[in-house]
Amino acid sequence: MAIYRSLHTYEPSRPPEPWVVAIARHVAAKHFHSHWSRARWQELTDEIPDRSGEDMGSLVYNMRQALGSLPRLQREAFWMMKIEGLSLIEASARSGATVGSLKVRVHRAYEHLRKAALI
């Protein structure tokens, strides 16, 4: 696919091998960069954590507390997009906010919940 996307850079007067090798090298570098950027924060373990003992009631309570601590506009945007599953256009029409502002609100709400270790 990368070769197809790079056809506009091919010069017929030059040999194709160096061109193909350069594309392959770029694809491999991109792959390993994304792999190692993920591997930095992944923690390998021999045991799978047992979450069966967690109380679902406490998880629901913590989620409600965290959602309640969000500013109203962020909470509404997050609820429409992530809980109700509305598209950006539908949520924008319902709230009267622009698509861009909804994206920002949902992102900030998500970051708040992530810091609260709920997502």
pLDDT of the residue at 48: 73
| Residue 2 · residue 26 · CB < 8 Å | yes
Please give the mean pLDDT across all residues of the chain.
85
Q: Which domains does the chain have, with CATH numbers?
A: 2-39 (no CATH), 59-115 (1.10.10.10)
pLDDT of residue 42: 64
More confidently predicted of 70 and 52: 70
Res. 50 pLDDT band, cuts 50 70 90:
low
